[in-house]
Amino acid sequence: MQQAGPILVYSIYRSDIPRFERLLAQALPNTSIHCACSPEQAAPYLGEARILYGWGFPREILSQMPNLRWVQKMGAGVDEIVEGWPDPVLLTRTAGELIAPRMAEYVLGAILDRVLRFDIARTQQERQQWQFFEIGSIRNITIGIAGVGEIGSIVARTLRRLGARVLGWRRSGLSSSAVDKLFAGFGALPRFLGACDVVVLVLPLTKDTKGLFGANLFAHCRPGAHLINIGRGGLIDEAALVAALDARHIGHATLDVFAAEPLPPRHPFWNNPHITVTPHVCGPLVPEDVVPHFLANYAAFANGRPMQNVIDVERQY
């Protein structure tokens, strides 16, 4: 394999750095590899690095990398860096199929927690109260997947294998075998939402989807609907969501992503009993899972071959 480095590996998760370093050093023993988990640690290597492989790096460091030729995000989203992307730097992302199984498990857990009414069980346990209650079944609800791409399709198939009826929505009219019925185009969103007991957001954040899910669309949801967001926090108008929950038009929201992360201490989501907050844990970036994809792209980059999961900067995904 030809050498295309030096490589700067950047992750805000300090505990992951040794694993990334070990895996990359084993595969690329003759390549200069530097690791950092903060801008200060990265600073000595910005001038020479040709490749940035990272998660959580501030966009500002890109302008300090004169030799940069390729950036690969460890995750599947690029919304926080793609605006005004510097030409001719290549931008790629990790394949969604590598992180989708864990995301499907998160969605399934969130749905079953509500369907099986474990909230009642927890309350009764706190009160030391023994009282029968009837649980539901995933086979008796309709689940909507907004964003039937790589990740959304795997989530949909996982749920269908358990007997759920799964609807899909996507911006384009491309068909999908992952769902029982597909709705396409922004005009179809109200009908899609009105047909679902649970709505799962798996969309990228672009100029077209930012704040898309607000008061107008929430008004079309089934009363008591369960909203799950594993896409991007900016998809949701957060104030409108709080209002919809307070009015009980939306029954519950399970949120793993937020417009501002970490979620600010005084944010109204923290104390809302109808919201479950998780700190962006869905789809964790396990080094052993994602590094092989980077290495395949590295080989393609070094040898001038087509790369996988190249971002269309104009479409922002």
List active site positions: 232, 280
Alpha-carbon gap, residue 173 to 158, rounded angstroms: 22
Q: What is the rounded CA–CA span in Å between residue 291 and residue 170?
A: 29
Taking a C-beta distance cutoff of 8 angstroms, is the pair 32, 3 a contact? no
Distance, first Cα to last Cα, the chain: 29
Q: What is the rounded distance in angstroms from the CA atom of residue 64 to the CA atom of residue 39?
A: 11
State whether the Cα torsion 193-199-201-202 is positive or negative.
Answer: negative
Tokens of 32: 């200069």
Q: What is the dihedral of CA 150, 156, 160, 162, to 10 degrees?
A: 100
Tell me the Cα Rg of the chain.
Answer: 21
Two structure tokens written together for 224: 């008591």
